[in-house]
Amino acid sequence: MGSRDEAGAWCLWLSLPEELREKALVFTDGLAAYEAIFAPGQHQVRRKKTNHPDRTPEQYPAATLRKVKYGKNLAFSKTWKNHWLAIRYFLYHYNLDKLTKNTSLF
């Protein structure tokens, strides 16, 4: 994802749209650089399970499998727009599922 220093944390934070930054809840492993960047109300330290973003890209092909066309080999959607929408659809439902399972966010 990037460097684990204060500059890397700033780059990550500033890469998010402003609307998202206002409402974001960030989970990190407690590195001092993160605590210096993220506001206390928006930052929660979790000592476990910070690796799930690393697994997420591996879930994209499996979750969007029905969106791809089959031929002699497995390929992406016929158009870039269809592929993008399939990934967006997956992310929406993936995040919605995570929200409903984590009642501490409500």
H helix count then E strand count, the chain: 5, 2
Position 26 scores a pLDDT of 81
Backbone angles phi, psi at 105, to 5 degrees: -85, -10
pLDDT(50) > 70: no
Query: What average pLDDT does the segment 17-40 reach?
Result: 83
Which residues, 6+ apart, have CB-to-CB distance to 9 below 8 Å?
A: 33, 34, 36, 37, 38
Lowest-pLDDT range of 7-16, 20-29, 87-96, 97-106: 97-106
Task: Report pTM.
Answer: 0.41
Position 61 scores a pLDDT of 61
Q: What percent of the chain has pLDDT over 90?
A: 0
Report which of residues 1 and 22 the model is more confident about. Answer: 22
Give the domain ranges of the chain: 1-50, 52-106
Distance CA 74, CA 51 (A): 29
Distance CA 93, CA 56 (A): 13
Query: What average pLDDT does the segment 52-56 reach?
Result: 56
